[in-house]
Structure 1
Amino acid sequence: MSHSHSPVSAPATNGHDLAARIAELLTQIDTVKAEYATLDKRANEVAGQLAQRFPVYDELYMSAATEYNRAQADLARTKQADTEPDIPLDDAEKASTPNQAVRSELSGSTHNAPISVNKLYRRIAQLAHPDKTDDSNKHTLFLEAKEAKKQGVLSELIRILALLTGDETRPEQLSQHQGQDALAEKLSRINVLRKELTLYRSQLMQLRNSPMARIVDLISTNTTLSITKAETLYKMTILQRVKELETNTSGIRQDIAFQSNMNKT
């Protein structure tokens, strides 16, 4: 008795299908990025207008944010002088030039980039920095990540992090199993793009749910009541964030004092 092969047993993908999927993912990424950029631009404009209208609140936040960033930088130097390797800090942990600090804080944006290259790089550094591991393969990936960070190539950092966390196989390893270099590279590219799209969507959702997005909606309604509500929400958000920053700064200063005492003993 003979058996014919079911169509289901045929390969599910080919070069054409994969290329179409890549194009689809790129289109989706561009759409999400465009929506993010539009909302972020409007949020920055409105926040700038409110900062000019209420300079006392703007100055209050700037002062608290500056002290917080200084404390973060001081703590990082204290730890680095003790045992930590030379791993670059996130932007949020560096001493800031707070020209747009209020806008970034309220909207969730960072240097107008939906995803922080620095955060991805730091995560990679924690896994692959020579002071963190003796694995020479990971050292190579760390050097690749360093160059990708320098060039600002987000997708490459996503790929490297996926390799380090076991979520992706190198294209050359895929080709050994499949014997199809082109297909292997496309599959790898799709994997990276999916992760990139997920990150962009996450950041867009964060922006949509931010106080600044709510303020933008209220301002856009353009009624006396909605504008009053927007101004009140702006002030309340600033005061709440200032309180959080002051509490965090106090905690960091205590950590610094503890670290200093430990270093002396």
Structure 2
Amino acid sequence: MENKEEDVRLGANKFSERQPIGTAAQTQDKDYQEPPAAALFDPDELASWSFYRAGIAEFIATFLFLYISIMTVMGVSKSDSKCSTVGIQGIAWAFGGMIFALVYCTAGISGGHINPAVTFGLFLARKLSLTRAFFYMVMQCLGAICGAGVVKGFQKHLYQSKGGGANVVNGGYTKGDGLGAEIVGTFVLVYTVFSATDAKRSARDSHVPILAPLPIGFAVFLVHLATIPITGTGINPARSLGAAIIYNQKSAWDDHWIFWVGPFIGAALAALYHQVVIRAIPFKSK
């Protein structure tokens, strides 16, 4: 037991936090490998089955995500009293729980993005090529449309009468409020993705086992608790697009730009913060 405590103490203190600005990422005393930056365009990917398999995984995951989450929204909307259903907390758990499960299932195949904003943030950090990022986003959007379409098929008239789970800026809030909520909410999500999958963090904190999908799913749950009253919580352009296309009413399209602009800004800010401030990647010695 004493040896284990010593290992924990050394593991926790191996990477000093008291270093001059810009040098934290330059230490030579490290037991991890920094992944090389992805090429902007890799033509070899297009001839690889793993590339298409990853896209299919993103399609299926986003399909299942929309199916379960929007079905939950419809169930709550159908009831006269939210107390007789899972309520807003249940909706938040449905979104967060499905992300946890689906990231766990697909992380080893595609990375488990299931969200164009996450893909965009990781692309900005050079974690994947432009080719793969674009392919993922297309497959995510197609999966979301199909998932929402299946829900409409099951719910029929209820889907149209109860808003179809489409994201809108709710009464009492301005478009600026909605945009701000989407920016901050997506920042929380994408920053959590970066932190949960960071190579240096895994090496430094190896004595603290962590299952990456868990904090990611929990971040989605918490953001939904905070922003469902404002926008219904988008933080995922594919989710917003799928519901809007299948519902296809004017109210779903009036503020739809917010659910693309907000998440993409939030993702870009999270990538910038993690790569430049937290990891100090631009300051690394070549």
Provide TM-score, normalisation by structure 1. Answer: 0.26
Larger radius of gyration between Structure 1 and Structure 2: 1
Provide TM-score, normalisation by structure 2. Answer: 0.25
